[in-house]
Structure 1
Amino acid sequence: MPAPSDGVYQLSVQDDATDRKLTLDLTRTGLTMHKLTIGSGRFPTRDVLCGPESSSSFKIEGRKFMNQVVGRYTNRLPAGKSYIIDSSREEGGKRIEIDLDENEPFQDGRGNCLHSGQNGYDLREFEPVGADSTIVQEFRSTNTEPANSESVSPPSLSSSSAHFHLHSPSGDQGFPEAIDILATVTLELFPVPKDTDLTIPSETGPKSRIGRANFNLRAKLSDPEEVARRDSGTPINLTWHTGYILNDFRGEPSDSNGIQQHKLWINSDHHLAVQQSQLPTGEIQPNKALGIDFSTPEAIRPIGEIMPPSGFDQCFIFKNSTGDTVDNTKDPKAILRSPKDDLILVFYSNQTAVQCYSANYFDGIGSRKELHRRTPAEQEAGGYKKQGMLFF
């Protein structure tokens, strides 16, 4: 993939005969997903990711964890020095020391290290690498190739992929051991189905599958033999912190109250309980304790009807996600529908849980994309407001 002059890398797949098109814009800093636009031939192009219009505004407007890779450890850990017990080891477990900085103060105790502190991967420059590069070949030799995680997988009409690499040295962010991270992004455009086998039912009629966007993060120890010799290791928990909004801002009706009219379903009956500091207690609670039930016949309901009063900020555990005997990677893990029900995102994952966050701390400061304004000339819209998008 050639180096862009404006710092934005673009992948695109399209079918001119049907006006169907998927386009993804990425920047190296944090490997930010700047734009993911969808054209179906049935509605004007829609960008399903929140964010500013200009990619340079991500740095100007400050750190918001908006569509970047976060790590080495996503979510919250206690700030300061701690020991993690690797219970998979023999003889009572191996103690791994970490020393993390605080970037989320807490009034009644030590604060948290949120998304790996002041210098997370969302601020790092990822390096584009070719499919035949040494680092890609090293990952292929570890048999960690990304798998197709969709049960209904029609042959692609066209596809486009790119690889990006980040090296994280030992001691980085207070975590031991050096690691290498390979991110692979792929867009695929599906042919228009000739029957109903590849359609998704909805209230406004069946929808044909336009395509698939696959985002894969893999990590490996840079020197596994040396780490094994010292019987050491490191915790790691990578993700893309991606915010979605499916509104048609040009048409009516649209979701003027943020995501309240979006419809959501998650393949989950339980979530992780948290302390007042938002750190997990270790207890797994039923979702019904939050007033949420995704198992009902009408489980895909407007977010405004199912979201707790304080908003979503829960780690939902996927059904059948424990144990080694069941391969459920081909089952949908979440579904998000637009207010008009004309655009549907179906999410698949090989992970055991998802953090669902409804942008509860956004305040309208900053900017937003032109496609996310009522009119192209609307300048007073400001940035995204509280509960104006949904992060997975």
Structure 2
Amino acid sequence: MKKFFLSALFFTLFFSACSERQLPLVNEADFNTTLDGKPVDLYTLSNSNGLTMQVTNFGCRVVTLFTPDRLGNMDDIVLGYENIDRYVHNKGERFLGATIGRYGNRIAAGKFTLDGKDYQLSTFNNGQCLHGGDKGFDMVVWNVDSVAKDYILFSYLSKDMEEGFPGNLSVRMSYQLTADNEFRIEYSATTDKATPVNLTHHSFFNLKGEGNGTVNTHELYIAADRYTPVDSVLIPTGELADVTGTPFDFRKPYPIGWRLDEENEQFDNCRGYDHNFVLSRTSASDLELAATVYEPSNGRYMEVWTTEPGLQFYGGNFFNGETLGKSGKPYKYREAFALETQHFPDSPNQEGFPSTILHPGETYRHVCVYKFDVK
């Protein structure tokens, strides 16, 4: 209780002090446009302590997220671009800060069979369907149904056979910055035909600040006894492998880069970490702690909570420095990480994985929380 009080006091005092400073926010006018006949804007949210985030309804992308370090210095800790054109016509990383759907992660060869019918999805990632296809939820304009200082509610109707998926899927999703310094995401969805659904969030974080160096010194904990190994095109083999004695054992925090130099077939397949972890949950759907990340040089600390059974950890293996971020800094190799709460990749083709099929009359629900603190 004492630690919580001191932490809350820290955030209150430093955010109050920082509120008088000018944060280097992205210009909202640079996101004001029309795409596919729908208006696009940039919205700035902040909580009662001053935690500040900017988000656009194009893909519901988080563009900036400002948090303090242990000295009260404010940094933007997510990767992103400075205008809408760079997201629409991107020549680098496509999924920065985006909402992912209709199916997050990969489906093998873009194929699955449901109720005796074969479906073919769009494929652009080594012959696999990745993150919903060519025009997934990250590349569409969402409706903004409600917006307040610390809250925004989006909706989107994914029509029957969009990107090859059956059923009209009606999605509602909210972002909220809570008084406890949480970035809280809540998803719900209904359908009129059985369909796979696996929604997730794809912010790339660097707790040193975007473009400010390697994340390999970040100390990571993941509450998982098992993970799902992948083949050469990053499709799960179906095995739920024990993490014991492997570089995938984050059950105690250690630096991300500590074991990356080891010979490991999984590292060869993915250039490092890009794997789904099977969370060691104690309930079917309660909100439980999935991971923590600590940056020792500045004290930033993040927790990830979820109702989902899986967590994809990606270590920034495909950044190469050729893409410049919103502040003009290059995004280099392993200078960002993603922690995506989810069901498992390729679940429609894996009988041993938890089902991702949503049926008419059911409601898909998913909560993900990124909570920020300092140590």
Matched, 1:98 2:119: yes
- Cα deviations by residue, 1:261-284 (Å, 9 ceiling, x for unpaired): 111000011001222221112111
Residue in 2 that maps onto 1:154: none
CA change 1:275–1:188 in 2 (3 A) is same
Q: Is the partner of 1:163 in helix, strand or coil?
A: strand
Q: Structure 1 residues 28, 276: closer, same or farther in 2, change over 3 A?
A: same
- Which of 224, 234, 246 is matched with 2:195 structurally? 234
In the TM superposition, residue 78 of structure 1 has moved relative to its aligned partner by 2.4
Say if 2:204 is the partner of 1:243.
yes
Find the partner of 2:186 among 207, 216, 226. Answer: 216
CA change 1:272–1:40 in 2 (3 A) is closer
Residues 226-254 of structure 1 deviation map (CA, whole Å, 9 limit, x = unaligned): x4xxxxx111111111211001589xxxx
Q: Within 1, Cα distance between the matches of 2:110 and 2:173?
A: 29
Larger relative contact order (CA 8 Å, sep ≥ 6): 2
Give the corresponding residue for 2:155: 165
Two-structure CA RMSD over aligned residues (Å): 2.5
* 3-state SS, counterpart of residue 104 of structure 1: coil
Match of 1:46, SS state, is strand
Query: Displacement of 1:114 after TM fit?
Result: 1.2
Structure 1 289/121 Cα, relative in aligned 2: closer, same or farther at 3 Å?
farther
Q: Residue 312 of structure 1 aligns with which residue?
A: 273
| C-alpha distance in 2 between matches for 1:241 and 1:367 | 18
Separation in 2, partners of 1:236, 1:121: 12
Residues 265, 96 of structure 1: CA spacing in aligned structure 2 closer, same or farther, 3 A cutoff?
A: farther
TM-score (norm 2): 0.72
Q: 1:387 to 1:327 in 2, by over 3 A?
A: same
Deviation per residue, 1:275-299 (Å, 9 max, x gap): 222111211101236433233xxx1
Aligned match of 1:64 = 94
Cα separation, partners in 2 of 1:340 and 1:36, compared to 1, 3 Å: same
DSSP 3-state at the match of 1:213: strand
1:102-251 to 2 correspondences below 5 Å: 102-105=123-126, 111-130=127-146, 160-190=150-180, 211-221=181-191, 223=192, 227=193, 233-247=194-208
SS in 2 for 1:216: strand
Structure 1 residues 6-85: aligned runs within 5 Å: 6=32, 7-15=41-49, 21-39=50-68, 42-62=71-91, 64-79=94-109, 81-84=111-114
Structure with the greater alpha carbon radius of gyration = 1
| Percent identity (aligned) | 24
The Cα of 1:47 is off from its aligned counterpart by: 1.3
Matched position secondary structure for 1:333: strand
The answer for the alignment partner of 2:319 in structure 1 is: 362
Whether contact under 8 Å (2:279, 2:310) holds in the other structure is yes
